[in-house]
Each structure stands twice: as structure tokens, then as C-alpha cells.
Structure 1
Amino acid sequence: MDAASFRESVESAKATELNRLGSQKLLLALTDAELDRPTVLRVAADSENAARNTFETWASDEADPAAREAFAAVAEEETDHYDRVLSAMDEDTREAYDPADGGTLHSYLRGREDAVERIAAGLVGRGIVASKTHLQVISFFVNEPDEATANLFRELRTETEERIDEGLALLADHCETDADWERAQAVAEYVVQVAYDDYADSLEGMGLDPKPIC
């Protein structure tokens, strides 16, 4: 295993889950079927808020210098993402908005204490899931049509993809044995599974099938 094949291995192992997370049903699950502009933006802001809190925590207690620096940079970027999503809200939505934090995915992330696991789960696994989410948000605003907000989320997605690449490079520096790579892959895959399970549970709670209709 190496950085070049790591993402491919994770995405191959979780191909079914990622394919379903990349469907139009994702926003239904995330918004409890309230597909309107204020709700989509609130959900996106909640995601950015949870991410910045996770990475701020890691940046404050990570012993590994390179990982700590990376986590601090991501925390700063997620704060910027959060502010940019807030700026896309209308004034009434922004004033009424009360940011949520945590969730199953971030509870899992915050339980990681090892640098390798944090990099793999937080930068790579979460990044892959976030990229899928951004893509669906982009599609939502393209269909609104609201090209300015769609472009905002295109920018956020590009920056998230860049952080995935940085995570892969960090893993190459930190994984010294096959066992390290295997552990990294396991936690990255589990992040995808947690996100998928939340997605499936939400849809099933609404009486919808998370599987694609063929």
C-alpha cells in the first residue's frame, strides 16, 4: 500500500456506499426531505461547524508536529468555509440559525487519538464523504438556479479535494509498515460506513429505500 493506491482502495472497498451517497437522495436524507434553500444552507453550515470543532480539538492535543500543523490548517479552512456558507444565507435565515455540532460521524472522528488514524479518518475518509455532499449541494443550486451559490460550493469542494491529497501525503510520511496502512484504511472505510448508515437510517425513517431503483 502507498499514498497513490490508498484512496483507490478505500473507494473500491466502499464503492456501493459511496455510489448511494452520491445520489440525489443524499440531500433528502440530510434535510429530512426539506429541500429548500435555507435548510440546505443550514445543513451545510452545520457540517462545516462540526468539522472545524473536530479539527480544532485535534490541533490542540495532537502530539505529532506535522499532523498538528495540518489539523490547525484544516480547522482554519473549515472556519472560513463556515463563514462563507453563512454569508450565502439571507439575513433572516442567518439570524435564526443556531449551529449544530457533532453527529455520529464526528463522534467517531473525535474518538481517534492516533495521528495515523486521525489523518486517514479525518482528512481522507471524511474528505471523500464531504466531496460527495458538496457535489449534491452544487447540483441543488444549479437547479434553483443559483449559479453564485453553486460556484461557492464548487470552491469548497475543490479545497476539500486538496485536503484529501494532503492527507494522502501525510499518510505516506506516517505509515511505516503494512499494518499502519491497513489500520489507516480500516478507519477511512469506517468513516464512509458511518456516513452511509446515517444516510440509510434517515431515508428508511421516511419510508424510502436507500438502494437505487433500477
Structure 2
Amino acid sequence: MDAGAAIDAVRDRTETERNRLGSDKALVAATDATLETEAVLAAAATRESGLAAVLNGWVDESDGPVAARFETAAAAAAERADRIGAAAGADDGLIDHLERVDGTAERVGAGLVAAPLVADRFYLQVVSFFVNEADEQRADTFREIRRTASALDDGEAALGQLSESERETAAAAATDAITAAYDEYAAALAAMGLDPKPVC
């Protein structure tokens, strides 16, 4: 399993969860049904600030090229948080999960593969929110944020520094992280009496 195959495996294993995380209920769950601009901005800032802090914490605990990828990804997340310009709230389920991940391969999978895959789905709905609000400036900003937040360049490069067995470990950790994000999403909706499964 090379780096690309590891990422493809994660996509295949988490297709259902990721599709639901990108549904029109995503912001309902993330904002506790407060579908207002400030709440959406706070949810986005929370994710980016939390991700930057976690990745920064891993830099000194990792070696060489992998540490450099954590550092690059942390800087990018911090820059996105600055662009969002809102106060961050309490860490969400994905960030809580990342804070408990240990081991280089596991951190590569969770922080550099899972986090971008989740971000891609989350920011799809943030862009849609601002389009519906007729706020094209913010919609454009979040299109760019989505592009960088969902980029897998750092993840693919870091996976390339691992052995084949470590890449399998990373893929399993990425799957676990996406599952953690989905579990929080499903629990938040259930608490509001909503079904996380799509209505056909």
C-alpha cells in the first residue's frame, strides 16, 4: 500500500460517514442549530484553531520530514483561523479525538489525512451557507479555505516517509478519526431529535 492507496482506502472505508458529514445538517450539528453568521464563523474558527494547536504540539515529538509536514499543516490551519477572524469555542469531537492520538503513523493518518477529508465536507456546507445568505465575499473566502483545508499534499508526503505497515496503521487511524467526527455529528443531531441518515 503506497501513500495514494492508503488515502484511497480511507476514502472507501468512510464514504458513508463523509457523505453525511457533508449534508445540509452539518451546520445544524456544528452550531447547535444556531444557523447565523457568527455561529458558523465560530464553528469554523474552532476547527482551525484546534487543529493548529494539535499539529503544533506534535512537531517536537516527531522526526525530520514528518515533523516538517505537521509544522506546515499547523501554520496553514493557523492562517485559516486568522482569515476567519472569529473567536474559537470549545474543541469539537474531531479535535478532542486528535488530542488523544499517539504514535507517528497514527498522527499522520488522523491529522494529515482524516482532518482534510472532514474539512472538505464541512466547508462545502459553510460555502453553501454564505451563498444562501447572499454573502459572496465570505462564500469566496470559504471556497479558498476549503481548497487549502482539504488539501492532502502534506498527508501524502508524510505517508511517503512511512513504511508500508505504518501506512496501514495511518489509514486505520484516519478511519477512526473520521468515525469520531461522525459520531459527534450523529450525537448532536440525535440530541435535537434529528436523524443523521439522509431522508430518501
Corresponding position of 1:38: 38
Matches within 5 A, 1:54-65: 54-59=54-59, 61-65=60-64
Identity over aligned pairs, percent: 40
Secondary structure, counterpart of 1:73 in structure 2: helix
Give the counterpart of 1:196 among 155, 162, 182. Answer: 182
RMSD: 1.4
Displacement of 1:182 in angstroms is: 2.0
Query: In the alignment, is residue 18 of structure 1 matched against residue 24 of structure 2?
Result: no
Q: 1:106 aligns with which of 95, 106, 116?
A: 95
129-138 or 152-161, which deviates more: 152-161
Q: Distance in 2 between matches of 1:152 and 1:158?
A: 10
Q: Which amino acid aligns with 1:165?
A: D
**Deviation for aligned residue 1:131:** 1.2
1:77 counterpart = 2:62: no
Describe the superposition over 1:80-110 as per-residue Cα deviations: whole angstroms up to 9, x where unpaired.
1111101xxxxxxx5xx4x324333223212
Write the letter of the residue equivalent to 1:78: A
The question of whether the paired residues in 1 share the 8 Å contact of 2:108 and 2:159 is answered with: yes
Contact 2:65/2:161, CA 8 A, preserved across alignment:
no
Do the aligned partners of residues 20 and 63 (structure 1) sit closer, same or farther apart at CA in structure 2, a change above 3 Å counting?
A: closer
1:57 & 1:169 partners in 2: Cα distance? 19
Q: Distance in 1 between matches of 2:62 and 2:18?
A: 32
User: Is 1:181 aligned to 2:167, yes or no?
Assistant: yes
CA contact (8 A) 2:3 2:167 kept: no
Aligned residue number for residue 115 of structure 1: 104
Aligned length: 200
**Structure-2-length-normalised TM-score:** 0.94
Structure-2 separation of matches of 1:142 and 1:27: 14
For residues 11-50 of structure 1, give each alpha carbon's deviation from its aligned partner in whole angstroms, at most 9, with x where no partner exists: 1111111111111011111011111111101111111111
Letter in 1 for 2:72: A
**1:67 Cα offset (Å):** 1.5
1:172 to 157, 160, 171: 160
Identify the range of structure 1 (129-138 vs 109-118) with the bigger mean alpha-carbon deviation. 109-118
> Could you tell me whether the CA contact under 8 Å between 1:29 and 1:203 is conserved in 2?
yes
Gaps of 5+ in 1: 87-93
Larger CA Rg, structure 1 vs 2: 1
* Contact kept in structure 2, 1:20 and 1:210, CA below 8 Å: yes
One of 106, 114, 119 as aligned partner of 1:130: 119
State the TM-score, normalized to the length of structure 1: 0.88
